[in-house]
Structure 1
């Protein structure tokens, strides 16, 4: 099957499949016969808006339902007639939106949906040779594989994303080195993890925000330290000195703005778990209480999962009354 026919078939399957039946078909907007610049701009705006909602509220609830409706409309545009000058922009915009919807599905533990959407995003980006957007899709595919307990595939996907790294920006390279580091850390490869973090740090040092594409606007000092801190967190739990992990996670917590509430919560929860694990329950309690309050405002099953991990790590200090209370509150929160 030719690639454009594959994409058309895939977009039709996305529109008709169980994933997008979550939204009433009768509510879907009619797809125009001919793609216009305003249609592409609508997809870009939707991707940017939905990503900000996802970061602020988590991927569950209304965020995901709204994202699914928008993606169905956008995916069906691939079957409309598109003027040649708009074709690359259309496929790029649909790829970006697919990664946003996939990320929301990932956060809601709809893993099969997320996998399909990330793969679709890769195909759209590759159709028009957009290497940066392709890199974003591979980054998410890598992170999902690693998160689901398959770091070997996570490493492979991250390295595929780094193919032709000369065509990627410093932020894009740093992002993918972080994905490598997180996969390597889960595999227990300490020195290779540290080397990948070093590669990420080197790329980050050369980052010039004004030279980055709008899709990388999220990748700032807070994001960089949070991502690398997560990789170091896994090493620290395995016995590596925890100081760098604590420092990076604390930097992320202190630097994330309110617009990235979920990312801040991820880093804060990991920081609390690490402090609890290394024998600093008083500091861990302070961060754990804040993390608990933040998670209760999100609809994110990944955030709930991390909070549950904190509860399990805190078990070793269960004789401390405040820790016991925190664990009970965590249990109540993650089972709601």
Structure 2
């Protein structure tokens, strides 16, 4: 038999009164704590602590509870009376006396929950009756019917001859996918848009093209292959990403575009390193540096950073530090006016975040000083805006893991919750894996309740 809930004492304090209000509205909806928690994307224990007055929730969580419990905004208004604007007074307002924090987590299907979120839909039910759909609304059709309702029935329009406007459109599509990928991650809708776009781009390669325009077409398809491959890499569609990168490399080689060639090999290196093959990653980075006189200082810095990350995964302290030094020296010579427009992402923040990853591996694997990596992660996090939410989330998660494993676990908890605020808004398998790593490091502190709360929130955000 389930144990009855212990009565609350709403007159003890404002926090106890607020907790009693949460329980009142939960009971009105007939929900248990174990049912309300998942709906609000937090753990059962967090709901219990809020109701007992021992945990101060962020306002965003309270607003989510208002929606779920259909209170008409009562809890949000109550939060303002009980807790005031404490959340705004300090970034660590959720950690009085080093207590753990929790917030609503925007987790949806096809987001960060799993590794196979981009599995294509196949098959269909009976033909769609469009009149029935218009008359009966969404309830008249099963989800698979809706897929067939909007699936194009004709092939994409392929021009009879390539014109400058076709190349310009390819470039704009690549820019759009690049922006979407950085803001939202590579899974879900971004993955679908990216894959379809590359299919269309490749279909233009056999089309008749004026010879002076051919190099521009090849460069445009190469750039599209890079951004699509990056999106697939982020979604862990690794085989697809390798094909996209290989296509990009071939187009860049044929078109004589050394800048795109360098960028392609940089991504190929990063993917190989990520999947546990740093030796191949190092080879790819070295290939990118062939004829380094033909690429910019920023691109050289990018490739030396890839070399550093490969050496870091190998635990090779000397070569990692040498490669980081070469990357820093090259970046000091960077001149944005000499870089292709699409290299603008590799700025001060990106460079420090990328090199920090290499130094992170030295700290974890070779017992090197963690301060060097921490300083660079901090620069990266502070410099990345919302346009690079994924980069900010990944750098902050790694920074939290480093602090949890080697420095201050309480600081790590703060960083971890801040990273989760970003991660809950994006679709990234890479970010999910980094959170799992943070959870494993947090498990090393079994007596620390704040670490346990962080692990609970991570578990509510990512699948095991």
TM over 0.5: yes
Report the secondary structure of 2:425's partner residue.
coil
Matched-pair contact (CA < 8 Å) for 1:270–1:306: yes
SS in 1 for 2:439: helix
Kindly state the Cα deviation for residue 318 of structure 1 after the two structures are TM-superposed: 2.5
What is the aligned partner in structure 1 of residue 59 from structure 2? none
Pick aligned residue for 1:292 from 420, 441, 446:
420
1:32 and 2:159 equivalent?
A: yes
Q: 2:214 aligns with which of 87, 90, 107?
A: 87
Q: Alpha-carbon deviations, 1:94-115, whole Å to 9, x = none?
A: 0000011111111111010001
> Cα distance 1:38–1:295, how it changes in 2: closer, same or farther (>3 A)?
same
Separation in 2, partners of 1:27, 1:108: 28
Which residue in the other structure is 2:130 paired with?
none
The residue number in structure 2 matching 1:104 is 231
1:278 partnered with 2:412: no
What is the CA deviation profile of residues 232-267 of structure 1, one whole-angstrom value per residue up to 9, with x for unaligned ones?
Answer: 000011201111100000000001111000000110
Q: 5 Å matches for 1:315-334?
A: 315-334=443-462
CA contact (8 A) 1:182 1:230 kept: yes
Indicate how the Cα distance of structure 1 residues 95 and 26 shifts in structure 2: closer, same or farther if over 3 A, else same: farther
Task: Give the superposition deviation at 1:279.
Answer: 3.5
Q: Measured at CA, do residues 262 and 116 of structure 1 come closer, stay the same or move farther in structure 2, by a change above 3 Å? A: same
Corresponding position: 1:176 with 2:303 = yes
Map residues 1-336 of structure 1 onto 2, 5 A cutoff.
Answer: 26=153, 28-238=155-365, 239-335=367-463
The CA distance in 1 between the partners of 2:449 and 2:243, in whole Å, is 46
TM-score by length of 1: 0.92
Deviation at 1:319, TM superposition (A): 1.3
TM-superposed deviation, 1:214: 0.8
Unaligned runs of 5+ in 1: 1-18
Q: Distance in 1 between matches of 2:449 and 2:431?
A: 24
Asked if the contact 2:186–2:234 (Cα under 8 Å) also holds between the matched residues in 1, the reply is: yes
Residues 294-333 of structure 1 show CA distances to partners (whole Å, capped at 9, x for unaligned) of 1111111110010111000111112111110110111121
**Contact 1:60/1:300 (<8 A) preserved:** yes
| Higher mean displacement: 28-37 or 224-233 | 28-37
How many equivalent pairs are there? 319
Cα distance between partner residues in 2 of 1:156 and 1:114? 18
Aligned to 1:9: none
- Tell which deviates more after alignment, 326-335 or 245-254: 326-335
Any conservation in 2 of the 1:20–1:72 contact (CA below 8 Å)?
no
Give the greater-gyration-radius structure (CA): 2
Q: Residue deviations 1:185-217, cap 9 Å, x none?
A: 001111100100101001100111122111201
1:25, CA displacement in angstroms? Answer: 6.5
8 Å contact kept, 2:271–2:281: yes
| Contact 1:56/1:259 (8 A) holds in 2 | yes
Once the two structures are TM-superposed, the CA of residue 27 in structure 1 deviates from its matched residue by: 5.8
Aligned-residue CA RMSD (Å):
1.7
Distance 1:52 1:150 in 2: 28
Separation in 2 of the partners of 1:66 and 1:26? 17
**1:26 CA drift (Å):** 3.6
Q: Which sits farther off after the overlay, 47-56 or 315-324?
A: 315-324
Deviation at 1:21, TM superposition (A): 9.4
